[in-house]
């Protein structure tokens, strides 16, 4: 395997994941690992696959007190080919929500050595964001790509939690289709989301529980989340 081939494949994988996950210098955890003893209201734990190969995990932990919700997510992916590590991705994000509006966000990402960050907070009349994409004053009520919260499906613009971009999004009407979840068939609804170069499908149960995600990344490969 030549150095040029490895470099091209790293770049292709990295760009695809950057679009999907909506700084590590050095990467310091923003919170201690969540344990079962903590007051977690909901949790979504996913195995992540690139095509048919398992490459890591992406977990989401939600704590709620009244209208205030705190969501922490952590992702770790690694792709190897012939014992050579071609790509590594590490992401941690902490969001505080007041109802369905972000009031605070902190995220740090290492995408194969490339650092990204986002820091944002609600101010009077607007949401201030400072990220790798620059600084901006956004509308007062902002939502991120909060796949865990079905209210995000009604939004026309969403905040990318990896670099701070505020993106126009288009989300299709739901299509009923069966899905296998934890080895069992389940009725579900699929939504198609488009934002810039990002194209992904999301599946939800009849009760609006997030069940799965699939996206085509650069090179025509499939990135897939399967619920544990």
pLDDT band at 29 (very low <50, low <70, confident <90, very high): very low
Judged against a pLDDT cut of 90, whether residue 72 lies above it is answered with: yes
pLDDT band at 20 (very low <50, low <70, confident <90, very high): low
| Residues whose CB is less than 8 angstroms from the CB of residue 7 and which lie 6 or more positions away in sequence, other chains included | none
Judged against a pLDDT cut of 70, whether residue 5 lies above it is answered with: no
| Contact status, residue 117 vs residue 90, Cβ threshold 8 Å | no
187 or 25, which is more confident: 187
24 or 223, which is more confident: 223
Q: Which two tokens stand for residue 70?
A: 């705190």
Judged against a pLDDT cut of 90, whether residue 108 lies above it is answered with: yes
Tell me what pLDDT residue 15 has: 40
Helix (H, G, I), strand (E, B) or coil at 152: helix
Tell me what pLDDT residue 107 has: 97
Of 13-17, 26-30, 87-91, 101-105, minimum mean pLDDT range: 26-30
Judged against a pLDDT cut of 70, whether residue 168 lies above it is answered with: yes
Tell me what pLDDT residue 95 has: 98
Judged against a pLDDT cut of 80, whether residue 211 lies above it is answered with: yes
Burial class (CB in 10 A: 0-12, 13-18, 19+), 4: exposed
Judged against a pLDDT cut of 50, whether residue 89 lies above it is answered with: yes
What letter does residue 141 receive in the DSSP assignment? Answer: S
pTM to 2 decimals? 0.82
Full 3-state SS string of 154-193: HCCEEECCCCCCEEECEECCCEEEEEEECCEEEEEEEEEE
Distances (CA, A) of 127 to 1, 17, 124, 155, 201: 47, 26, 8, 16, 28
Q: Among residues of the chain, what percentage have pLDDT more than 90?
A: 73
The tens digit of pLDDT for each residue in 44-57 reads 999 999 999 999 99
Q: Give the residue ranges of DSSP H helices in the chain.
A: 3-20
Judged against a pLDDT cut of 80, whether residue 142 lies above it is answered with: yes
| Contact status, residue 39 vs residue 64, Cβ threshold 8 Å | no
Supply the DSSP string of 198-224, one letter for each residue.
EEEEEEE-TT--EEEEEEEETTTEEEE
Quick one: which of 129, 118, 113 has its CA closest to 26? 113
pLDDT band at 79 (very low <50, low <70, confident <90, very high): very high
| Domain locations in the chain as residue ranges | 3-227
Average pLDDT over residues 106-131: 96
Question: 3-227, which class in CATH?
Answer: mainly beta
């Amino acid at each position: 395997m030549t150095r040029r081939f490895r470099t091209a494949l790293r770049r292709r994988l990295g760009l695809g994941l950057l679009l999907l996950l909506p700084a590590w210098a050095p990467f310091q955890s923003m919170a201690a690992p969540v344990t079962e003893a903590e007051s977690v209201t909901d949790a979504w734990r996913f195995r992540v696959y690139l095509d048919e190969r398992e490459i890591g995990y992406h977990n989401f932990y939600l704590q709620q007190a009244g209208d205030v919700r705190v969501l922490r997510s952590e992702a770790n992916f690694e792709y190897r080919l012939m014992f050579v590590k071609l790509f590594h991705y590490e992401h941690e994000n902490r969001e505080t929500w007041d109802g369905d509006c972000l009031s605070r966000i902190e995220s740090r990402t290492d995408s194969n050595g490339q650092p990204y960050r986002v820091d944002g907070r609600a101010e009077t009349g607007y949401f201030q964001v400072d990220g790798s994409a620059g600084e901006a004053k956004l509308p007062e009520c902002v939502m991120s790509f909060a796949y865990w919260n079905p209210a995000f499906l009604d939004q026309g613009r969403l905040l990318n939690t990896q670099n701070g971009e505020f993106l126009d999004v288009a989300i299709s009407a739901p299509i009923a289709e069966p899905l296998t979840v934890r080895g069992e068939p389940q009725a579900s609804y699929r939504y198609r989301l488009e934002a810039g170069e990002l194209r992904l499908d999301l599946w939800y149960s009849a009760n609006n529980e997030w069940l799965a995600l699939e996206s085509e990344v650069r090179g025509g490969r499939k990135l897939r989340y399967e619920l544990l």
